[in-house]
Amino acid sequence: YTKENKETKVRGKTDPDTSVTINERWVIVDTTGNFSYTLPLLPGENLIKIVVTDRAGNQTMVERKVSYNP
């Protein structure tokens, strides 16, 4: 991220037949399983919660913290 933008890009790769949310917002997964999302940052610590759900309803969750100090 940069101080001017106050945002970070979250990117990843999963199976193409899954759905992804980042902080409860739906993210598009392309046909090869890639996804990305530009997340606005607030000053201080920001929690990024990524949830991947397959067609059977199984979920995998990953949480990361990012600090932003303007």
Bridge partners of residue 22, in order along the sequence: 25, 50
Residue 6 near residue 68, CB atoms below 8 Å: yes
What is the tens place of the pLDDT at every residue in 6-28? 889 999 999 999 999 999 999 99
Confidence of residue 5 (pLDDT cuts 50, 70, 90): low
At a CB cut-off of 8 Å and minimum separation 6, what does 13 contact? Answer: 32, 33, 34, 35
The residue among 5 and 58 whose pLDDT is bigger is 58
pTM: 0.84
The predicted pLDDT at position 62 comes to: 97
CA dihedral sign of residues 70, 65, 26, 36: positive
What is the tens place of the pLDDT at every residue in 19-53? 999 999 999 999 999 999 999 999 999 999 999 99
What strands lie across the sheet with 59-68, from one edge to the other?
25-27, 19-22, 44-53, 59-68
